[in-house]
């Protein structure tokens, strides 16, 4: 049984990854309290004393607002911490799976969907740190997968972290009698977290490198929200729950859409965002 180290083990993605693969791999799930990735000596000692086959490195500060406010902390964790993990993988000959982000595409002037080999122009500190981390990984390792993940969604689950996502946001608004504003000028892939997790295992059969990793999508965020309500059988409440925001990003569309051709060419497939929403709601409403 292969041994898999998971950093950031309490996170939205990692906590579900741990549960999903607990019987298939020897999972060593560590939080920041158990392994300080910014401490080079501690990381070195850990890898020196543990034989790790695969590292799923998801530990980071992913709150874009916090990254803007606490730039040095974001760089320390997202970049320096990743460098330490990559050096540990080099020491142990471990394969690194790095949770990068579609925010690398946020500043591109041309419209998406984006392929992995375009010139990257992040426009926020979070995206900057993920891009720098990707570059550092390439300088250190040959055995790596940089996964450019999209915004992910799922229902709330017991003993697992919940992040703000398209489904929980809309459900909360529906239950509390509130409203949620969704932009008609924003386009992005939004992925079902369990489809992401299922596909991570398939990486072991494809070449190392950079991969867009999530759902493709060609409809705006407002239409995605409408699709959520339609799948919930609440299509008659769309105007009560969703504010159709036509002003945000009016001057320049926000476009974070990914192109998965490279992934498909290697036999890994994702549902598009609309299909993924339908699947998620069906699975949790059984």
Tens-place pLDDT, residues 196-209: 999 999 999 999 99
- On whether residue 277 sits in a domain, the answer given is yes
E-strand ranges in 49-94 read 54-57
User: What DSSP string describes 1-44?
Assistant: --EEEEESTTSHHHHHHHHHTTTTSEEEEE-TTT--TT-HHHHH
- Predicted local confidence at residue 253, as pLDDT: 92
Gap between the Cα atoms of 221 and 240, Å rounded: 17
**Same-domain status, 68 and 101:** yes
**Same-domain status, 247 and 147:** no
User: What is the number of structural domains in the chain?
Assistant: 2
Report residue 158's pLDDT band, with 50, 70 and 90 as the boundaries.
confident
Phi, psi (degrees; rounded to nearest 5) at 171: -60, -45
Give mean pLDDT, residues 221-247: 95
The two structure tokens encoding residue 250: 């009016």
- On whether residue 59 sits in a domain, the answer given is yes
Tell me whether the omega of the peptide bond preceding residue 150 falls within 30 degrees of 0, making it cis.
Answer: no
Report residue 38's pLDDT band, with 50, 70 and 90 as the boundaries.
very high
Question: What global pTM score does this model have?
Answer: 0.95
Q: Which domain holds residue 279?
A: 153-188+217-258+271-284
CA dihedral 97, 98, 101, 107 (to 10 degrees): -120
- Residue 281 pLDDT exceeds 80: yes
- On whether residue 263 sits in a domain, the answer given is no
Give mean pLDDT, residues 115-126: 95
- Residue 132 pLDDT exceeds 80: yes
- Residue 16 pLDDT exceeds 90: yes
Q: Decide if 196 contacts 252 (C-beta within 8 A).
A: no
CA dihedral 90, 212, 118, 109 (to 10 degrees): -130
Give mean pLDDT, residues 109-116: 94
Phi, psi (degrees; rounded to nearest 5) at 247: -90, -40
Give mean pLDDT, residues 227-233: 95
- Residue 243 pLDDT exceeds 90: yes
**Same-domain status, 140 and 175:** no
Gap between the Cα atoms of 6 and 14, Å rounded: 7
- Predicted local confidence at residue 47, as pLDDT: 97
CATH number, domain with residue 240? 3.90.25
- Predicted local confidence at residue 161, as pLDDT: 82
- On whether residue 182 sits in a domain, the answer given is yes
Report residue 162's pLDDT band, with 50, 70 and 90 as the boundaries.
confident
> Containing H/E element for 73?
helix 71-75
- On whether residue 18 sits in a domain, the answer given is yes
Report residue 159's pLDDT band, with 50, 70 and 90 as the boundaries.
confident
151-153 vs 144-149, strand pairing mode? unpaired
**Same-domain status, 30 and 140:** yes
Report residue 114's pLDDT band, with 50, 70 and 90 as the boundaries.
very high
**Same-domain status, 98 and 165:** no
The two structure tokens encoding residue 126: 């979070």
CA nearest to 152, candidates 46, 56, 13, 44? 13
CA angle in degrees (0–180, nearest 5) for 78-74-3: 25
**Same-domain status, 180 and 232:** yes
Half-sphere exposure of 230 (CA within 13 A, CB side): 10
Report residue 185's pLDDT band, with 50, 70 and 90 as the boundaries.
very high
Report residue 3's pLDDT band, with 50, 70 and 90 as the boundaries.
very high
Residue at token pair 């949620």: 180
CATH number, domain with residue 148? 3.40.50.720
- Residue 190 pLDDT exceeds 90: yes
- Residue 80 pLDDT exceeds 80: yes
Report residue 12's pLDDT band, with 50, 70 and 90 as the boundaries.
very high
Mean of all residue pLDDT scores within the chain: 95
Give mean pLDDT, residues 88-117: 95
- Residue 218 pLDDT exceeds 90: yes
**Same-domain status, 130 and 145:** yes
Gap between the Cα atoms of 17 and 194, Å rounded: 8
**Same-domain status, 14 and 148:** yes
The two structure tokens encoding residue 55: 């590292």
């Amino acid at each position: 049984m292969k041994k898999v180290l998971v950093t950031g083990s309490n996170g939205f993605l990692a906590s579900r990854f741990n549960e999903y693969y607990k019987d298939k791999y020897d999972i060593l799930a560590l939080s920041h309290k158990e392994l300080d990735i910014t401490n080079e000596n501690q990381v070195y000692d850990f890898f020196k004393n543990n034989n790790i086959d695969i590292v799923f490195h998801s530990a980071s500060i992913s709150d874009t607002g916090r990254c803007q406010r606490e730039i040095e902390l974001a760089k320390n964790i997202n970049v320096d911490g990743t460098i330490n993990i990559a050096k540990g993988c080099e020491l142990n000959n471990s394969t690194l799976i790095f949770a990068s982000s579609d925010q690398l595409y946020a500043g591109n002037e041309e419209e998406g969907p984006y392929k992995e080999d375009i010139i990257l122009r992040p426009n926020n500190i979070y995206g900057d740190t993920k891009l720098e981390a990707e570059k550092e990984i390439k300088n250190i390792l040959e055995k790596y997968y940089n996964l450019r993940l999209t915004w992910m969604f799922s229902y709330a689950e017991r003993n697992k972290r919940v992040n703000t996502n398209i489904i929980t946001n809309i459900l909360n608004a529906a239950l509390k009698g509130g409203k949620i504003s969704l932009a008609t000028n924003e386009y992005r892939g939004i992925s079902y977290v369990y489809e992401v997790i299922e596909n991570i295992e398939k990486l072991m059969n494809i070449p190392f490198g950079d991969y867009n990793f999530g759902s493709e999508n060609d409809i705006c965020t407002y239409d995605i929200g409408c699709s959520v309500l339609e799948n919930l059988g609440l299509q008659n409440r769309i105007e009560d729950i969703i504010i159709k925001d036509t002003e945000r990003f009016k001057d320049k569309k926000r476009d974070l859409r990914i192109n998965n051709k490279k992934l498909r060419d290697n036999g890994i497939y994702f549902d598009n965002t609309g299909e993924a929403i339908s699947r998620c709601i069906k699975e949790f409403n059984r």
